[in-house]
A = this chain, B = another copy of it.
C-alpha cells in the first residue's frame, strides 16, 4: 500500500515537472490521445511510476470518465457468480477499467443502480436481474448496461449475455433418460420474471414430452433459502413414488439434495440421480462428483465486460450473445453399468 502512505497527493503537475514535459503532454498520455510519441509516453510513464501517481477518479469524472464499472449480483453465496466475476476481471485486466460490485435483491436493485449511476460509474453489468424489459431500458438510457442471465431478445437498449437455457433443460433430461432414469423431477427456483428459469423449465418439459414421459413431469419451485431447499428435498425423497432423478436449477441446490439423500440412506446414483447446473468448482470434488451443465460463467463474464466497454466507447446498436451449454457427466448420474 505504498501509494496510500504518502501524505500529499501526487498531481499531474508533479508528473509533468518530473518528466520535464507540459501538463497537456501528461494529460494526453493519460487519456491515450492520438499522436503521442512512444518516447513521450515512456518518459511520462517512468515519472508516473516513480512518483506513484494515481489519477483521481473525481477529476477523471469531470473529463467524462471514471473508468469504473459497477457489477450487481443477486447474492454472493452462489459459487457460479465467482466464475462470472473471474471472467469480468480478466476482461478488464487488459483495459484501464476496474470494477466494483454490489449485492442487491430484486427489491433493492433500483436503489443500488441509482447509487452506482450517482457515483458516476461508466457502465453497469447486472447479473441475474429479474427487472422488466421496460425498467432495464430506462437504466440503459442512462448508462451503458450489459445484462447477464436474463433473456430479453427484443430489448434495444441493453446488451445481453446468456446461456441457451432451453438447451440446458433438454441436455439434462436426454442424459438422464439415456442412463435409464424415468421419474425425473426438476427442483427449480421460485422467482418472478426469471426468464432463465422459465427457459430451463421449458427445455425440461419439452424433452420429457419428447421422451414420452409427460406423465412424470413435475416441477417444484423453492426459494434460495437453505432451509426451504432442505424441506423440499426431504419431501421429494420421502414420497411413496420417489423420483429416481432430481434436476436442480443450480449446483448449490444439488449439493444440498445429495446431502439430504445420503443422510436418508439413499445411494447416489443407484437409488437416485442428482444433476446440477453451472458446473461450479464443487462439482469436481470427489465427495460430490456432481453431473452438471456447464454454461461457462467465466465466458459469460468476459463477453459482458467486452460488450460493455464497446458500448461505453461508442457502439450504439445493442448486441445479444448466446453461449451453448454442454453437460459434464459425473458419478452422481452415471449408473454402474455405464461407468467405464
Contact surface of A with B, Cβ cutoff 8 Å: 1-7, 54, 56-58, 66, 68, 70, 75-77, 79, 81-82, 85, 89, 98-103, 109-116, 118-120, 131-132, 134-139, 142, 226, 255-256, 258-260, 262-263, 281-282, 284-288
Contact = CB atoms under 8 A, between A and B. Distances in A.
6 contacts: A1-B135, A4-B113, A56-B118, A57-B114, A100-B119, A260-B286
A106 B15 CA distance: 25
A77 B81 CA distance: 9
A5 B134 contact: yes
Query: Which secondary structure dominates chain A's binding surface?
Result: helix
A187 to B, nearest CB: 16
Nearest to A55: B118
Nearest to A3: B110
Contacts of A114: 3-4, 54, 57
Contacts of A109: 1
Nearest to A85: B76
B102 A100 contact: yes
Nearest to A285: B259
Going nearest first, the 4 A-B pairs with the smallest beta carbon separation are: A1-B135, A57-B118, A259-B285, A259-B286
A169 B79 CA distance: 28
Given A82-B76, A100-B70, A258-B287, A6 B116 contact: no
A82 B114 CA distance: 24
A258 B285 contact: yes
Nearest to A135: B1
Contacts of A2: 110, 135
A258 B85 CA distance: 27
A263 to B, nearest CB: 4
A34 to B, nearest CB: 26
B1 A77 contact: no
A70 B116 CA distance: 12
Given A77-B82, A100-B116, 15 more contacts: A1-B135, A2-B110, A4-B142, A57-B115, A66-B119, A75-B82, A76-B81, A85-B103, A100-B100, A100-B119, A101-B102, A259-B286, A262-B287, A282-B282, A287-B288
Contacts of A81: 76
Q: Indicate the member of A68, A142, A258 with the most B CB atoms within 10 Å.
A: A68
A76 B76 contact: yes
